[in-house]
Structure 1
Amino acid sequence: MDTVSANAAPARTGRSVADARLDARAFLGGLLPPVASEAADTVLLVVSELVTNALRHAGGTWALELTAHPDGIEVAVHDPSPQTPRLRNPDLNGGTGGFGWPLVTRLAYTTAVTPGPSGGKTVSALLPR
């Protein structure tokens, strides 16, 4: 029988995407059984995208929470903006983005946007383990 550690990283704030990636790497490194390299890369990519969105579109304040489930890793980013992510046409020439949210929704089993109690939101994605 496979066992899965049920670790949850408490919500932790940071200053940069690099902070979030370091926290995610540390979390993934502590899981048993270990997460496959490709799955870990996917988690790090989604963490990067969601935190970048919080920095760019939600005023720069964010908190990251990671949870291991038997069949996946949940990435949740809390931010103070009530505005939900939206699909927009990717900007191929101007560098204004539009690629992140479609990427997250394609990589995740499920995504959710939950309003926060103080007006913000939590954007979460359940990713393959």
Structure 2
Amino acid sequence: MHHQVLTNDSSSHGPTDSRVEFVCRPQRAAEARDAIAAFLERLDPPPRSDTVQNLLLLVSELVTNAIRHAGGVSSLRFAADRRALQIRVSDRSSAHPQDRTPDLTGRTGGFGWPMIRRLAHDVQVRSREGGGKVVVATIGR
């Protein structure tokens, strides 16, 4: 999996303006979890352990949804500043996630989108110019 780390450190404006970004294109949820773990290792100060666990679950669910319902991930981006961490998953489908009754037998799912909305402090779904969408999940640091 190819990835790129982008750092925008605006130290002249103070530490709260520092921002780190990470871009990749995972083919599986496990690759996305590995990518966010590598991203989080670079952060100083590191996020709290409960935040790390929530981020691992968020990225896994977001990427799984893109693979299952949208034909794959176009890009996966992580960003962090002193206040928040953000996951952005882009895919080629213009269909927005839908609430549905979870299948308690486990055959057809239905748990991921409600879980994403509960774990993240903010979730937005934005249409992309030229088609597709990006799901943006933000969680406090």
- TM-score over 0.5 for the pair: yes
Name the residue aligned to 1:127: 139
Identity %: 43
Cross-structure match for 1:29 = 41
Letter paired with 2:127:
P
- Describe the shift of the 1:81–1:29 C-alpha distance in structure 2 as closer, same or farther (beyond 3 A): same
Residues in 2 aligned to 1:9 and 1:94: alpha-carbon distance in whole angstroms: 33
Q: 1:94 to 1:29 in 2, by over 3 A?
A: closer
Secondary structure at the aligned position of 2:90 is classed as strand
Distance in 1 separating the partners of 2:73 and 2:87: 16
Contact 2:76/2:90 (8 A) holds in 1: yes
| Greater RCO (Cα-Cα under 8 Å, separation 6 or more) | 1
How many corresponding residue pairs?
Answer: 128
Which residue number corresponds to residue 20 of structure 2? 7
- C-alpha deviation, 1:128, in angstroms: 2.2
Q: CA deviation at 1:14?
A: 1.8
Q: Which residue of 1 aligns with 2:60?
A: 48
SS of aligned partner of 2:64: helix
Q: Which runs of 4+ in 1 moved over 3 A?
A: 1-5
* 1:52 match: secondary structure: helix
CA-atom RMSD in angstroms = 1.7
Query: Cα offset for 1:56?
Result: 0.3
What does residue range 58-97 of structure 1 map to in structure 2 within 5 Å? 58-97=70-109
Residue 75 of structure 1: SS of its match in structure 2?
Answer: strand
Unaligned runs of 5+ in 2: 1-13
